[in-house]
Structures are given as C-alpha cells and as structure tokens.
A = this chain, B = another copy of it.
Amino acid sequence: MAPPERPAAVPRDPTRVVIEGVAPEIDAGRFPAKRVVGESLEVEADVFTDGHDLVAAALWVRPPGDEPTVEHAMVPLGNDRWSSTVVPDRLGRWAFTVVGWVDRFGTWRHGTLRKVEAGQDVDVELQIGAELVRAAAGRAKGPDATLLADVASVLEEGDADGITADGLEAAMRRWASREPLVRYGRTLEVVVERERAGHGAWYEFFPRSASPDPDRHGTLADAADRLPYVASMGFDVVYLPPIHPIGREFRKGPNNSVTSAPGDLGSPWGIGAEEGGHTAVHPELGTLDDLDAFVARASSLGMEVALDIAFQCAPDHPWVTEHPEWFRHRPDGTIQYAENPPKKYQDIYPIDFESEDWEALWDALADVVRFWIGHGVTIFRVDNPHTKPFRFWEWLIASIQADHPEAIFLSEAFTRPKVMHQLAKAGFSQSYTYFAWRQSAWELREYFTELTTPPLVDAFRPNAWPNTPDILTEQLQHGGRPVFVQRLVLAATLSANYGIYGPAFELVAHRAVAPGSEEYLDSEKYQRRVWDLDAPHSLRHLIARVNDIRRSHPALLQNRTLRFHPTDNEQLLCYSKTDPAGGVPVLVVVNVDPHHRQSGFVHLDLETLGVDPHHRYEVHDLLGAARYSWEGSANYVELDPEVLPAHIFAIGRPSRSESDFEHFA
C-alpha cells in the first residue's frame, strides 16, 4: 500500500466564501444520517466571508430517483451559522449539500441605506446599485424582468427610492448573480426510512410455546391465534425467533446442556437441518403458507411481523454440504465451529466471510432477506451482526433498501460501544442498547443524553428492551413487580422504539438458571414453556395503558427532544419529551428505587416544556389518572413503587378551567 501522499502545494483559489461545520454529517460524510418520512431534517452550516460583505446560503437537496434537485434558502441563526429545514416526503437515500455566495446586492443595499440615513451623498452608490439590478434584469424571466428593469432605471436616474422599491429584494434574491458560487466540499446523504423505523412497540415470543394444549408443540397457526392477545396490549411489531429447521448435530438440551435427549427441541438459532436452511420453515411450526397466514393475521390486527436473521449454520445445514467453501476448514479437514476460547459452540458453524467465494456468499445471504420480503416480512431483527464484517452489512442493507426502501433492520449487538455505533452507521435502522444494565438515575441520564444528541442521534436509533430471551438482569430477578413496571415505563418513554420478550415479561418471570447468571431458568431458547396468560398478576393491562399513552402522544414517538430535569432526590428520574409538531409535551417521573417510597422536588425547565412561568399549569397523570395544578419550576412528587413507580404527565398550557385542559389530554 502506498505511503501517505506528499502534501500538495496549496492551490490559488480566488473565492472568498467559507462553508464548513455542516450538520448532520457523520464521519465527514462517510455514512448517511437517518430520518423517517415526515421527520424534519434541519441542515446547519457555518457560512461566512472576509471583511464586511454579507453572504447568502442555500441548501441543495436531491431526492431519491430521478427527481430534480430542489433549492431551499438558508436563514442566519447568528454567529455565522445558517440553517434550513426540509421534511423528506419519500423513502430512500437523499443527497444534499450547501452553497454560499457573497450577497453583493444585500451588501450594497445595507450600506447605501446607512449612508442615506446619515445624510451622505449616494449618487455614485445609486449607479453601483443600478448596475447590479440591470444585470439581474438581463437574467430574469417573467414579471421580475420588468420590475428589475424599472428599478434599474429609477436608480440610474439617481432616485434613492429605488433602493427600497417593492419586490426588489425578493426579485434580486431570485436573479442576482451568485458568481462565484462556492459549494461545500462534500455531498452528504440522509437515508429516509418509513415511520416504523422511527418508533414502535415490539413484542417477542416463541411460537413453540403458543400451543393451547400444554402437551403439544406450538405452531405458527397457534402463534397466529396468540396475535389478538398481543394486539390487545397495543404492540406494533411482533418479532419471532428463527422459524427454520433446527440442526440435530450437537443439539443443545434444556438449560443449555451440551447433550440433548431424543425429543429435545434445540435452539431456534441452531439453524438448518435436512429439511432446509434459512429459507425453510421448521416442520413442527408448519409451512410457508402458515407463515403467510401469520403475517396476514398480524396485518389485520394492525401489527407487523419481524423475523430473525441469524447468519450461522447448524452442522447439518444444507449449505455445509452444498457450499463447503463458505465455512472455514481446519488443517485436519474439519469445519471450524464457533468458539470464544476456551468456550466451544460445536452446534454452530460460523459463516466464513473471508471465503474465496465471498461474493457468491454475500449474494446468497441477501437472497435470504429477499426471500422473506417476498413473504411480506420487511422488518428483520439481525442476530449478532457484530460477528460479521461491517462492510457486509453496509452493502446488504443498502442493496436491499435500494429495491425495498421499506425494509427495516434491527441490530442485535450487545458489545463494545464503538462496534455498536459502527453497525448503526453502516445502515441498521435500529439498535439494541445497554438499557437493560443502565438502572440508576445518573446512568440513564448520561446514556440517553448520549443517544439523543449528535453525533449518535443522527445514526443510532435505540430500541430499548428491559428483557430478552438472553437477558434477565439481576435487577429483574430480585426487584419484583415494581421493577418490571418501572423498567417498562422507562423503556417505553425514554425510547421511541422499545420491546419486551413475552409472556415472560408481562408474567413477571424472574427465575434465573443459576446465581449470577442472566439466563432464564428453563429458557424457551432450549425448550417449550407453558404460560398462563390470564394470571392475575399479569402486567398486560398496564402494558396496554402505556402503549395507548404512546400512541396518543407523538412526543413519545421520537427521541430528539428528550430532556432531563433536575430533582433533589437522586432516586427520582425526571425527563420530558416535546412534540416537534406542537402536540402535548409529556413529562415522566420515575422512582428508580423499587423498594421504597421516594419523594422530592423536581425542577422543571419550563421553557423547554413551553410553559409560561408566570401562570399555573395543569399536569395530568396519564398512568395514574390524577390531575395536579402546578406553578413555577419546583414541584413536589411522591411515588410508592408498590402502587405505581412512575408518573407520565401530559403537561397543560396555562389554563383557567378543567374544560380548557381536556382538549389535549
């Protein structure tokens, strides 16, 4: 590889406008930023020149496809910062850049008006202005051409009224010379995805446990019958673990034992057997038709289905014999199984992305995704993406979205921060997070501040899960029902995307396989479970309430406006989200101590909440239904975890009567 280039001589360039500090820009434009349809894209840039001349700037936006580039004027924010906001209205990769120029007309107008005010002779200035306007008239079309020619004549006659002629500024904005126009050095991109990429409530469950008959393996048909229950809790996305044939060689037994008995079901992530691989349905679950019916049933209930993409193979996966070159062979001729020395995972063969045949391999993997898209599934939860090359995901997601911009990919990576961020930058629509292990108020404040501010907010969309089949935190094991409620509220209100693994979650399942382990006892990863969905301790109605609050409060369905407010009790976490479209602000107070009643004052940033500090305002607890009349920044809160560990307040505008308040509650 060549050594660093020798520094080139600095070229002569007579242009004067500087454009820099453009945002959003991720790693100097190496990766696109993310938005969803209808979400604002505010582009900012530093634009300035030397001396006293005024500048002007514009945002150039190229929509996907063959649509022409559109120019949007930028407005100054002060301190040489300029801004323009567009709202992307279609899916795909948008391109944008910023242009700037010396505003010669504006500079002339400003200076000449100052001279007129000071009573100075402006005869020569009027001639200078006339030249500018006359030149623009020559370029102008339609009524502008006439107007500009007329004003030029007025100025040529020495009449200072021409400076402030009606319509002159607007016409000059359209037709004045911008030479030499300066363009920002890079074209930046934004991937615009559909609304569901931006927000959603997810519910994961194992079809194998969906049978109404405790003695029978659940099927996709049983799972379809479970969907009304899931819909009743208000979820948007139903996510199924892998539905493919499960390998028999080295199959794991219950509780992850390394040997299995006949009849043991194995892990759905041990993908592939003689019945087929990544595009087949496990015979015990049913057929492709059953899957189609499941997808249709979910759709009829207003939900979407997410499938699991786990690019790894059981030893008896058909690819192992059909494409041995896609696996790493050891000097003794055996295929390298997964390992993290000294741990061995002999039931899993990793795919060898350094295979000589990598291009065909990549195509085959992309075809798996396309296959399921062909069956109406466009949301994919990707298992362990951090063990495959980042550039593979970047290519895969871009390739799929080029044809199917509606496809959504969730990264299931729980690893080092830079690796997780890289996967998000490489294109994953959403990402699992450290949420499960961020439990104190300061940890949650720090982490969600990082997630909801640049640079992360433009690339990384958190999907917060209190539990998963792999994660039963020590807090959930020992905190009882209050901690399940607390964690549900936190996930659902801190993050526009969140999910639970059920029915374990709503049934408060909390027994681990061993002390110090985060694995569930009798985990569904390795066996069927029978769940009593009607158990009286179920959180299903509370979950339904929380999801209903989310749906009726757009403030909760995005992350960018999340703000934390100080409290004088560190066990009380207080935060708000405001709706960029002007809907009701939501204020959440959570007692993060599951064991004791906690009380104290919250100190609200009223400006953020849009509350007039000089008037009383109403807060309505959407969870507990109480209403309070508050005043000023400091307000008292008391939360008993045994009753409800959280308030989710709708914040009222200053109001005089209950009825004024009703309209937005």
List the interface of chain A (C-beta within 8 A of B). Answer: 1, 3-7, 9-16, 18, 20, 27-30, 32, 46, 48-52, 60-62, 64, 68-69, 79-80, 93-97, 99, 110-112, 114-115, 117-118, 120, 123-124, 127-128, 131, 181, 183, 185-189, 330-332, 334, 339-342, 353-354, 358-359, 362, 386-392, 394-395, 398-399, 402, 416-419, 422
User: Which residues on the B side are within 8 Å of A93 (C-beta)?
Assistant: 7
Which of A339, A340, A389 is the most central at the interface, judged by chain B CB atoms within 10 Å of its CB? Answer: A389
User: Which residues on the B side are within 8 Å of A419 (C-beta)?
Assistant: 48, 50, 80
Given that A5-B95, A124-B332 are contacting pairs, would A394 and B341 also be in contact in the complex, using a CB cutoff of 8 Å? no
A267→B153 CA distance, assembly (Å): 42
Nearest chain B CB to A189's CB is how many angstroms away?
5
CB < 8 Å: which of B11, B15, B28 contacts A28? B28
A93→B50 CA distance, assembly (Å): 26
User: Which residues on the B side are within 8 Å of A4 (C-beta)?
Assistant: 60-62, 69, 95-97, 187-188
CB < 8 Å: which of B3, B127, B399 contacts A60? B3
User: Which residues on the B side are within 8 Å of A112 (C-beta)?
Assistant: 341
Q: Residue on B with the closest CB to A386?
A: B50
Nearest chain B CB to A29's CB is how many angstroms away?
8
Contact A1 B418 (CB under 8 A): no
A542→B7 CA distance, assembly (Å): 45
Q: Residue on B with the closest CB to A127?
A: B331
Contact A14 B117 (CB under 8 A): no
Contact A395 B51 (CB under 8 A): no
CB < 8 Å: which of B1, B79, B183 contacts A1? B183
A332→B386 CA distance, assembly (Å): 71
Contact A18 B50 (CB under 8 A): no
Contact A16 B114 (CB under 8 A): no
Contact A95 B50 (CB under 8 A): no
Contact A80 B416 (CB under 8 A): yes
Nearest chain B CB to A328's CB is how many angstroms away?
10
Ordered by A's residue number, 27 sampled pairs between the chains whose C-beta atoms are within 8 Å are A1-B183, A4-B95, A6-B95, A7-B64, A10-B395, A14-B354, A14-B391, A16-B354, A16-B390, A16-B391, A20-B30, A20-B422, A28-B186, A50-B387, A51-B386, A51-B387, A51-B388, A79-B417, A114-B341, A114-B342, A115-B342, A117-B342, A124-B330, A127-B331, A127-B332, A128-B330, A131-B331
CB < 8 Å: which of B11, B61, B79, B339 contacts A416? B79
Q: Residue on B with the closest CB to A68?
A: B3
A189→B52 CA distance, assembly (Å): 31
| Count of this chain's copies in the oligomeric assembly | 2
A61→B7 CA distance, assembly (Å): 12
User: Which residues on the B side are within 8 Å of A96 (C-beta)?
Assistant: 4
Nearest chain B CB to A580's CB is how many angstroms away?
25
Given that A48-B418, A386-B50, A416-B80 are contacting pairs, would A395 and B331 also be in contact in the complex, using a CB cutoff of 8 Å? no
Given that A20-B27, A341-B114, A419-B80 are contacting pairs, would A1 and B50 also be in contact in the complex, using a CB cutoff of 8 Å? no
Contact B12 A359 (CB under 8 A): yes
A418→B46 CA distance, assembly (Å): 8
User: Which residues on the B side are within 8 Å of A68 (C-beta)?
Assistant: 3
Given that A50-B419, A390-B50, A418-B80 are contacting pairs, would A342 and B120 also be in contact in the complex, using a CB cutoff of 8 Å? yes
Top-3 shortest CB links A-B: A118-B342, A28-B28, A3-B69
Q: Residue on B with the closest CB to A354?
A: B14
Nearest chain B CB to A149's CB is how many angstroms away?
18
User: With contacts A1-B99, A14-B358 known, what are 9 further pairs, Cβ within 8 A?
Assistant: A4-B187, A4-B188, A6-B62, A12-B391, A14-B392, A18-B390, A49-B389, A127-B331, A127-B332
Which of A51, A386, A417 is the most central at the interface, judged by chain B CB atoms within 10 Å of its CB? Answer: A51
Q: Residue on B with the closest CB to A96?
A: B4
Q: Residue on B with the closest CB to A12?
A: B395
Which of A4, A185, A394, A416 is the most central at the interface, judged by chain B CB atoms within 10 Å of its CB? Answer: A4
User: Which residues on the B side are within 8 Å of A111 (C-beta)?
Assistant: 339, 341
CB < 8 Å: which of B50, B332, B341 contacts A389? B50
User: Which residues on the B side are within 8 Å of A124 (C-beta)?
Assistant: 330-332, 334
Q: Residue on B with the closest CB to A339?
A: B111
A401→B330 CA distance, assembly (Å): 58
A416→B80 CA distance, assembly (Å): 8
User: Which residues on the B side are within 8 Å of A123 (C-beta)?
Assistant: 332
Q: Residue on B with the closest CB to A98?
A: B4
A391→B27 CA distance, assembly (Å): 24
User: Which residues on the B side are within 8 Å of A95 (C-beta)?
Assistant: 4-7
User: Which residues on the B side are within 8 Å of A353 (C-beta)?
Assistant: 14, 16
Nearest chain B CB to A624's CB is how many angstroms away?
42
CB < 8 Å: which of B18, B79, B117 contacts A422? B18
Q: Residue on B with the closest CB to A358?
A: B14
User: Which residues on the B side are within 8 Å of A51 (C-beta)?
Assistant: 386-388
Contact A11 B99 (CB under 8 A): no
User: Which residues on the B side are within 8 Å of A398 (C-beta)?
Assistant: 9-10
A183→B3 CA distance, assembly (Å): 10
Nearest chain B CB to A120's CB is how many angstroms away?
6
A13→B181 CA distance, assembly (Å): 36
A93→B29 CA distance, assembly (Å): 26
Which of A12, A402, A417 is the most central at the interface, judged by chain B CB atoms within 10 Å of its CB? Answer: A12
Given that A10-B394, A12-B359, A118-B342 are contacting pairs, would A30 and B185 also be in contact in the complex, using a CB cutoff of 8 Å? yes
